[in-house]
Amino acid sequence: MNFYAVKAIYKFEMARTWRTLLQSIVSPIISTSLYFIVFGSAIGSRIEQVDGIPYGAFIVPGLLMLSLLTQSVANASFGIYFPKFTGTIYELLSAPVSMKEVVLGYVGAAASKSFILGVIILITANFFVPLQIAHPFVMVFFLILTCITFSLLGFIIGIWADNFEKLQLIPLLIITPLVFLGGSFYSADMLPPFWEKVTFFNPVLYLISGFRWSFYEISDVDIWVSIAMILVFLAITLFVVWRIFKTGYQLRK
Amino acid sequence: MTSAISVKNLNKVYDSGFQALNNINLDIQRGEIIALLGPNGAGKTTLISVICGIVNPSSGQILVDGDDIQTEYRQTRSKIGLVPQELTTDAFETVWNTVNFSRGLFGKASNPVLIEQILKDLSLWDKKDNMIMTLSGGMKRRVLIAKALSHEPEILFLDEPTAGVDVELRKDMWIVINKLRQSGVTIILTTHYIEEAEEIADRIGVINKGEIVLVEGKDELMHKLGKKQVILQLRQDIPAIPEPLQHYDLSLSDDGSELTYTFDTEGEHLGITALMDDLSDNNIRFKDINTKKSSLEEIFVQLVRESE
């Protein structure tokens, strides 16, 4: 194992975060705060409680997931796409590193950023709404696994993309709709019966549901189903990354 | 002793069907400086990229210090430093960070003293905290060299290191390269400035259309393929080369004032004395005499033409 390389990539990627503090940390905090102000305080004050939880507090887990998913994908995809775009990837390809180490460095850094972001958003939320976390360990478990899984997904997108448009395509067209329609702002049983059934085909629903359970012990699906789902996602992303490196897809000509 | 690099039957066909390398066989000895010359698109960069692990070979084998570059890639790559042709840098990073990043990436513990020395040798020390995007092209080239040297490679690839570089940097660079050579580093260089290769290389490899045309010691090559010319400025113009002199390899300038005799430097009988006598017998007098030896550039052009 080339630990120095993992450390170098990790440090390099984290340095990018501090350099682009506004973009990577401040802007998600501002947008999340806006959600709290608009949905939590302004509109939320006129919405009745959901399963006994004030609406503003109800949406915290969903909002966190929204930020974690989009930021994990954005960070990790950009992290590996940018060297491809500028050509500095030559160094990575000519270095004595295995692809496992490359993934560990890039995905580790992207996941760390998301995790830090998640914690900051949680603290921010605390200023706007009364928070309670019923199962902190489960919450952290979901937080960490989501950061890792979606950073892996971002990494896959970054490798697959050969232009900036493709880089934005999946986050904009797939991930954002799935998160919005996955119960970030509502409980599945608030939907008409048909759409409630459709919603269960949305994988993100299981993440949000499980995550919300760790806060308030309310969920759309059983917590074990949610845990199983996040593990399945992780397994799928790991498998795809493994396949990519097995074939050298898109990196080595 | 095993070669520093041994390339055996190497082929590279890109997905587009373009054959960039065609059955390349090449042995590079430890500690030598070999210059790879070839026209644009000859396959020099592809060859370097395959050896460094950036491009996958289609077939064939490459050993670095006896280790296969595919199965033993950790050992082989950690010994190689590469200065790429393109100025690809992390625009937003500082010089110091990017050079240290390279060292870590190649599996070495940080060594600020060494990095400081490298930056000083390349006149980059006062720029160490500058963002790379603020540097000039020549300075960026230095950064790439510093990155390649940061992990103390035993083998250094310089792909067109002096393209678009000013005289001062070239001088600095050759000083660094000489220092590396003295410490036993094997250097593989591609360049379009053939006089550079002529000055610095021990051996010359010529590549054209993905094939090695020849690999030869520089001095042997110059001796074997180099030609000498004696140019005679005539006292009186002559309309044509007289019949008795036709068997010499002579050419007459258009205005009839200059006679050029070309001969092989390898030939045993150069025939200059005989030519002088024959000139005198035919009443051809000259007022000045010049000799010219063909440059590596001329030899190179001739080799490439012959291989077309």
| pTM exceeds 0.90, yes or no | no
Distance CA B267, CA A243 (A): 62
pLDDT beyond 80 at B46: yes
Q: Picking from A229-233, B6-10, B127-131, B175-179, which range would have the lowest pLDDT averaged per residue?
A: B175-179
Which pLDDT belongs to residue B114? 95
Q: Where are the beta strands (DSSP E) in A1-80?
A: none
pLDDT beyond 70 at B268: no
Pick from B45, B210, B60, B15: which is nearest to A253 by CA? Answer: B15
Interface A-B, measured as beta-carbon pairs within 8 A, has a size of 82
Pick from B181, B261, B272, B277: which is nearest to B228 by CA? Answer: B261
Q: Does A166 touch chain B (CB under 8 A)?
A: no
pLDDT beyond 90 at B254: no
Note whether B90 contacts A7, CB cutoff 8 Å: no
Which pLDDT belongs to residue B57? 92
Residues of A in contact with B73 (CB under 8 A): 96
SS3 B248: coil
Q: Does A9 touch chain B (CB under 8 A)?
A: yes
Cα of A86 to nearest chain B Cα, Å = 6
Which pLDDT belongs to residue B82? 94
| Mean pLDDT value of segment B182-200 | 85
Note whether A12 contacts B93, CB cutoff 8 Å: yes
Per residue in B204-214, pLDDT (tens digit) is 898 888 998 88
Who wins on pLDDT, B76 or B250? Answer: B76
Nearest to A2 among B56, B88, B107 (CB): B107
Percent of chain B whose pLDDT exceeds 70 = 97
Residues of A in contact with B146 (CB under 8 A): none
Per residue in A98-156, pLDDT (tens digit) is 888 999 999 999 999 999 999 988 888 888 887 888 999 999 999 999 999 999 999 99
Distance CA B102, CA A95 (A): 9
Which pLDDT belongs to residue B270? 61
Which residues, numbered 61 to 100 in chain A, qualify as contacts with chain B under a Cβ-Cβ cut-off of 8 Å?
Answer: 86-88, 90-98
- Measured CA angle at B14 (ends B11, B17), to 5 deg: 100
| Mean pLDDT value of segment B147-162 | 92
Query: Which helix (H) or strand (E) segment is B60 a member of?
Result: strand B59-64
Which pLDDT belongs to residue B294? 73
Per residue in A12-31, pLDDT (tens digit) is 999 888 887 777 778 878 88
Residues of B in contact with A11 (CB under 8 A): 101, 104
Distance CA A34, CA A40 (A): 9
pLDDT beyond 60 at B73: yes
Pick from A251, A207, A198: which is nearest to A229 by CA? Answer: A207
Q: What's the token pair of residue A247?
A: 């074939």
- Which stretches of chain B sit within 8 Å of chain A by CB? 14-15, 52-56, 73-78, 80, 82, 84, 86, 88-93, 97, 100-109, 147
DSSP string covering B174-200: HHHHHHHHHTT-EEEEE-S-HHHHHHH
- Which residues have CB under 8 Å from B159's CB, separation 6+? B44, B45, B48, B82, B83, B84, B85, B190
Which pLDDT belongs to residue A58? 85
Note whether B102 contacts A91, CB cutoff 8 Å: yes
pLDDT beyond 80 at B297: no
Which pLDDT belongs to residue B9? 94
Per residue in A174-194, pLDDT (tens digit) is 888 888 888 888 787 778 888
pLDDT beyond 60 at B269: no
Phi, psi at B187, each rounded to 5°? -125, 130
Percent of chain A whose pLDDT exceeds 70 = 99
Query: ipTM more than 0.90?
Result: no
Distance CA B96, CA B302 (A): 45
Which pLDDT belongs to residue B105? 94
Note whether B105 contacts A91, CB cutoff 8 Å: yes
Assign A36 a pLDDT band (cuts: 50, 70, 90).
Answer: confident
pLDDT beyond 90 at A1: no
| Mean pLDDT value of segment B58-77 | 93
Which pLDDT belongs to residue B255? 87
